Amino acid sequence: MKGRVKSISTSSKKGCKKKNTQIAVLKEDFGIVGDAHGGGERQVSLLAIESIEKMRKKGVDVTSGDFAENITTSGMDLMSLKLGSHLKIGKSALLEITHIGKVCHDRCEIFRQVGDCVMPREGIFAKVLKGGVIKPRDRMEVVKQWKSHTL
């Protein structure tokens, strides 16, 4: 399965709106250098532009990064990925899928506006196995797909 990086978004503080950037450095076992959400098992968050477009159809004015995702993808069915799958991005970066969806403890502004948010059910999270530089339009490819949701 293949796709592309649509955009990259980071924030230096948790709880702040992420800003789009034209280049990012993925650091092994950390995440995106300069992003406040690095470390742990959910180092990098990904959401498909197709998921964002679902919210637009509900009348919500949203764009890449508005769901606090680090990487907005295009053309890849993220929801079909299994835990443990490996995703190559660009020339050398390698991610491992660690979480699918998330619990939304504090309803975000988007949820408060329309009663729905796609990130908790369609966002995925990964840890960085191999670092590298990534940028919008980079190719993405699943290089290892696990057969079940358990590791």
DSSP 14-27: TTSPPEEES-EEEE
Ordered domains of the chain (ranges, CATH): 2-11+19-144 (2.40.33.20)
pLDDT at 136 over 70: yes
Please return the burial class of 69, using the count of CB atoms within 10 Å of its CB with bins 0-12, 13-18 and 19+: buried
Residue 71 has pLDDT above 60, yes or no: yes
Q: What would the two tokens of residue 70 be?
A: 């680090």
For the chain, percent of residues with pLDDT exceeding 90 = 58
Range ranked top by mean pLDDT from 37-41, 65-69, 80-84:
80-84
Tokens of 108: 């975000």
Per DSSP, the three-state class of 35 is coil
100-123, pLDDT tens digit by residue?
Answer: 887 665 655 555 555 666 776 889
Average pLDDT across the chain, whole number? 87
Report whether pLDDT(72) > 50: yes
Confidence of residue 61 (pLDDT cuts 50, 70, 90): confident
Quote the pLDDT of residue 98: 95
Per-residue pLDDT, 150 = 47
- pTM summary value: 0.88
Q: Which residue has the higher pLDDT, 78 or 13?
A: 78
Residue 151 has pLDDT above 70, yes or no: no
Q: Give the Cα separation of 81 and 91 in Å (integer).
A: 21
